[in-house]
Amino acid sequence: MSKEMFMAVILVVDDSMIIRKQLSVVLSKQGYEVHEAAGAEPALEILRGDAPVGLIISDVNMPGMNGLDMVAEIRTLEHRREIPIFMLTTESTEHLQKEGMEKGANAWIVKPFNEEQLLAGVAQVFACG
């Protein structure tokens, strides 16, 4: 698989099927390949393997492991350390945003999200890749 194909794959992590499907539709229309995980644990299973992923978009509040702890775990995976991670969440408090960035998140987007801003951020990630 070429680097361009590898980079155009996005893993969406959210316990809400509605949010996963909404993001999948929005991103797929732009030509991105989207994979979905219903929580942190299934996402980590995918990421521990060799599946191509160029960007992760994740919720913070999920049953079991939360999104911030998932980010910290991803940053320990040698072959996944550099993947950009966008947190897409209803959480807007400064202390949580700071914690997210300290654990390795690259962007913080508050729900409900602006589709155009999200797509601009995603396009920027892949343009820099």
Percentage of the chain surpassing pLDDT 70? 93
Percentage of the chain surpassing pLDDT 90? 81
What token pair was written down for 68?
């911030």
- CA 38 remoteness from chain centre: 12
Average pLDDT over the chain, rounded to whole? 91
The better pLDDT of the pair 7, 14 is held by 14
φ, ψ of residue 58 in degrees (nearest 5): -135, 145
Q: Which of 19, 57, 65 is nearest to 39 (CA)?
A: 65
For tokens 């980010």, the residue is 71
User: How far is 32 from 92, CA to CA, in rounded Å?
Assistant: 27
Strands 55-58 and 85-89, bridge-based pairing = parallel
Residue 7 is predicted with a pLDDT of 59
Residue 20 is predicted with a pLDDT of 96
- Classify domain 3-128 at the CATH class level: alpha beta
13 pLDDT more than 70 = yes
Residue 24 is predicted with a pLDDT of 96
Residue 3 is predicted with a pLDDT of 42
- Which pLDDT tens digit goes with each residue over 29-59? 999 999 999 999 999 999 999 999 999 999 9
What CA–CA distances, in Å, run from 107 to 3, 75, 86, 98? 23, 15, 5, 11
Strands 85-89 and 107-110, bridge-based pairing = parallel
Residue 80 is predicted with a pLDDT of 94
Alpha helices per DSSP H over the chain = 3-7, 17-29, 40-48, 67-74, 94-103, 115-128
